Every structure is written in structure tokens, then in C-alpha cells.
Amino acid sequence: MPAERVAVVGAGPAGLAITKHLLGRHCNVTVYEKGAHVGGLWVYGNDSGAGVAYRSLRINSEAKDTGYRDFPIPTDASIFPTHYKMREYFDAYADEFKLRPHIRFNSEVTKVYPLGERCWRVALADGSEFDYDRVVIANGHQSIPSDPPFAGDFTGTYLHSRDYRTPEPFAGKNVLVVGTGNSGLDIAADVCVSARRTVLAARSPVLIMPRMLFGVPLSRFLAKVERPWLPWPLARRLREMVTYIVHGRMERWGFETPKGRTHPASHPTVMAHIAWNRIAVRPGAFGARGITVRFDDGSEEDFDAVIAATGYAYDIPFLDDEVTPISDGRIDLYRRIVTPEWPGLYFIGLFDVSGGANIRMMDIQSRWLGALIAGDIELPSIDAMKESITEEHARMAKLYPSTKRYGLELDPREYGLTIREDLARAKATATSAAAPPELAKAAR
């Protein structure tokens, strides 16, 4: 059989991982990268236009748990490496596994569409088109900013966190940062040292946990105490207790403690800045008139600049609506990878890992997809895949708020276990098939 012809869109962390695994399965792989570098959003000032890294950016998860399984992040990169170190890491990964010869840099994909059964066409901005047996979409989901409703009414300096790079332009100014995700906390802590006044608008409940505890990353402590059998309400109370010991009650600082499951937030210094009055916390902002911003409690304040750390719209512009798996912020993918009704179209990295490492999960997904394309894993029927997707949506609806922010949320423990079970069954089947007849019969 001829080698599978596979196109991969994007040479960021997800694209590099799937390319490495597919090459290991002897596929004929071509990667289309819009810019001139590997690493995607981790490349500061990426010429692809998709780079969202600001100068102070570091990874949120511990390095030893973040990198690719068979290519650890170097220990000298620190516990939470900078984006500069992460770029070096992705460059080293691409070189170690000889991925660059398979990457077409400065090649923007403008259209991916099916031609028939097991045939997909990839169209580029330069007018060229190429056909493949399969296509893997790995271009990330942080390219289209989601702006707050009042963005167009604010007449001061406005930018989305995607375009924030350094704090110097905001020195001596009154700055409002909207959103309490990790990016919002990073940016508020960045600008508050030199800004005249920094306000952090927090509409949603949030538990801002410490980054370190007892001299080690908090994740190590939680991994020891949050056992798989521990009910979520008890795990939530445990996290609240840890946060209370270090920071006190969230309400003391102007936040609201979440009552349900939310995406974890953490920062090494932002709570200290709040305690020192470098950052003021206000409720959510809902409107603006000129440079005046109105908050949910009815108060108003004037600002020179607004930085919106309000997330991203999930969209894949080069896929038609009938093909895209995204529906009203919800992802309809079997195992978060496969489109049931479009054979040969796959996705890597279309998720937000809750309390885990996105890069490690991309590697796990890529192992699974490599096994699928190689024939080691067999997909269930279309109806069975759709039923599995519906069941996953129901599980996630019980765990997380029903907002678009949580449409990509992924529980790493449950998902990782499912993928490992699939791979273990595939390995057992392959071992049984390769064994002598008498051993194969015994194995069955």
C-alpha cells in the first residue's frame, strides 16, 4: 500500500507533535505553516500574525509535566519556563525528529474541503492547490479575539490581550484590565508597577491559587491529595482551603469564590499587588461612553486604556460551516479528534486542559491519531461516535458553567484515561495478531 498522504495545518506545538507521530507511522506528511517559524503562539513577535506571547509570558504548568512525553523540556529552563525557552524547545524538537524538511513555511491555508471519499483539497493563499488522503487541523484556537460588548464605545486606547506585548506604553496611565484568566492576571501584574492606576474587572467567580506551595509547584501538592476517587466537591473545598491559607478569602479582595467547577487560575504575584493597592478589583464592566467605563455595580470610572483579556472566538475560517466541528462554541468531535461524518479530517489541540498541560495532551492525542491512521485503532459507527460526543457534552455540562468560555474545556484525568485505554487495546490486538497461531488463540 502507498504511504498515506497527510496534510497538517500549522507548525505550532500541536502540528509538530502530530507530524512526528505520523512520520513514525511512515506517512507522507506535508505541514503548512503561515509564518517562518515553528512554535506557534510561543514565538514572540511571530510573523504569522498568530503569536500572542507577551514579553513576560511563562508557561502555567510545571515544565516536567508540560513537554512532549519522549522529549522533556530541559531542566535548566526553570520550573516555569519563559516563552523564549519554549521557542528554543520547539526548535530543538523539530530538529531532533527532522521535521523541518516536511514543513512549507510562509504558506497560508485559505481553504480545506472534501473532493470525495478519502480525498481532501488544500488551497493556499498563493493560488496553489494540493490533494491529500487526510488533513489534520492543528492551527490552534487563539487567533480571533473575543471583545467585550463595549469595546466599540470606548474612545481611549483599546486592545485585546492578543495584541499586548509590554507594559511601557501604559506607564503613568489609568488602565482597566478586563478578565481574570491567566492572561488577565499576568497583564494586570505587568502594567500595575508603572501605571498610575490599574483596575482588574472580575465578572465571573474565580479562585486565584498560588503558583507554589511549600517550596514546590502547587500541582505537585494537588496531585498527591486529589486522588481519582476523591469527589469533586471535596476537591473544590481542598483548593479553597489552600487558597484561603495563602491568600485569604477571595471576597476580601473583591472577587467571588466559585461554587462550581471553573478553569483554574493562578499567579505568583498578583495577589500581593492587590494587597499593596497597586491593583484595584472591580465587578464586571458592561458599558462605556467615551473614556468612561460603567461597572455592574453601577459605578463609573475614567480610563486611558482598556486591555481585554476576554478570550477568543472559536472559528476555523478555512473550513465551510458544514464541515467545521464547532457549533455555538461547542466541539462535536469523537475523542476530541475525529469528525464522525467527514472521514479523513482530524483535529489536534482543539481544547483547553483544565488543570493540566495543553502540550502534553497534544502529544497524547497525536499518539492516538497516529495509531488510528496506521489501522491499529478502529473507529465505531457514526451513530456510536455521535452518541459518545453527546455523552461527553452532558458530562462537561455537569462539571463546568454553560458559557462559551468552557466550550473547549477538557478534563485531563478522564480524557487521558480514555485515550490510554484505547491505545492499550490497540497494542493488545496488534500483539495478538503478530503472535503464532497457538499463542494468538490463547490471547483471545
The predicted pLDDT at position 311 comes to 87
Average pLDDT of the residues in 142-153: 88
Write down the number of H helices and E strands in the chain: 10, 24
- What mean pLDDT is reported for the chain? 90
* pLDDT at 401 > cutoff 90: no
Q: pLDDT, tens digit, for every residue of 70-85?
A: 999 998 889 999 999 9
Q: Look at residues 208, 176, 219, 216 and name the one whose alpha carbon lies nearest to residue 272.
A: 208
CA distance 277 to 145: 30
DSSP state string for 252-282: GGT----SS----EE-SSHHHHHHTTSEEEE
Q: pLDDT, tens digit, for every residue of 260-297?
A: 777 778 899 999 999 999 999 999 988 999 999 999 99
The region, left, alpha or beta by phi > 0 then psi within -120 to 50, assigned to residue 103 is beta
CA distance 214 to 232: 24
Paired with 120 in beta bridges are: 114, 132
| H-helix or E-strand spanning residue 384 | helix 382-399
The predicted pLDDT at position 444 comes to 41
The predicted pLDDT at position 203 comes to 87
The predicted pLDDT at position 85 comes to 96
The predicted pLDDT at position 378 comes to 93
Average pLDDT of the residues in 114-136: 94
Q: Which three cell numbers stand for residue 276?
A: 499593596
- Answer whether 314's CB lies under 8 Å from 137's CB: no
- Answer whether 83's CB lies under 8 Å from 10's CB: no
CA distance 400 to 73: 31
* pLDDT at 436 > cutoff 80: no
The predicted pLDDT at position 411 comes to 80
Query: Which residues have a Cβ under 8 Å from the Cβ of 101 and sit 6 or more positions away?
Result: none
DSSP state of 312: B
CA distance 126 to 200: 43
The predicted pLDDT at position 439 comes to 38
- Answer whether 179's CB lies under 8 Å from 307's CB: no
DSSP state of 231: -
Report how far apart the first and last C-alpha atoms of the chain are (Å, whole number).
Answer: 28
Neighbours of 106 (CB within 10 A): 14
CA distance 181 to 390: 28
- pLDDT band of 375, cuts 50, 70, 90: very high
Query: Which residues have a Cβ under 8 Å from the Cβ of 180 and sit 6 or more positions away?
Result: 200, 202, 204, 206, 208, 255, 265, 309
Burial (0-12, 13-18, 19+ Cβ within 10 Å), 185 = buried
Residues above pLDDT 90, as percent of the chain: 67
The predicted pLDDT at position 50 comes to 74
* pLDDT at 359 > cutoff 70: yes
Q: Which three cell numbers stand for residue 16?
A: 509538530
* pLDDT at 195 > cutoff 50: yes
Question: Among 15-19, 142-146, 159-163, 291-295, whose mean pLDDT is lowest?
Answer: 142-146
Q: Which three cell numbers stand for residue 147?
A: 471583545
Average pLDDT of the residues in 367-387: 95
The predicted pLDDT at position 443 comes to 37
Give 237 or 385, the one with higher predicted confidence: 385
DSSP state of 74: P
- pLDDT band of 405, cuts 50, 70, 90: low
Q: Which three cell numbers stand for residue 322?
A: 458544514
Domains and CATH numbers, the chain: 5-144+313-437 (3.50.50.60), 151-308 (3.50.50.60)
Average pLDDT of the residues in 430-434: 60
Average pLDDT of the residues in 173-192: 96
- pLDDT band of 441, cuts 50, 70, 90: very low
What interhelical angle do 218-225 and 232-247 show, nearest 10?
140
Q: Look at residues 387, 146, 408, 153 and name the one whose alpha carbon lies nearest to residue 263.
A: 408
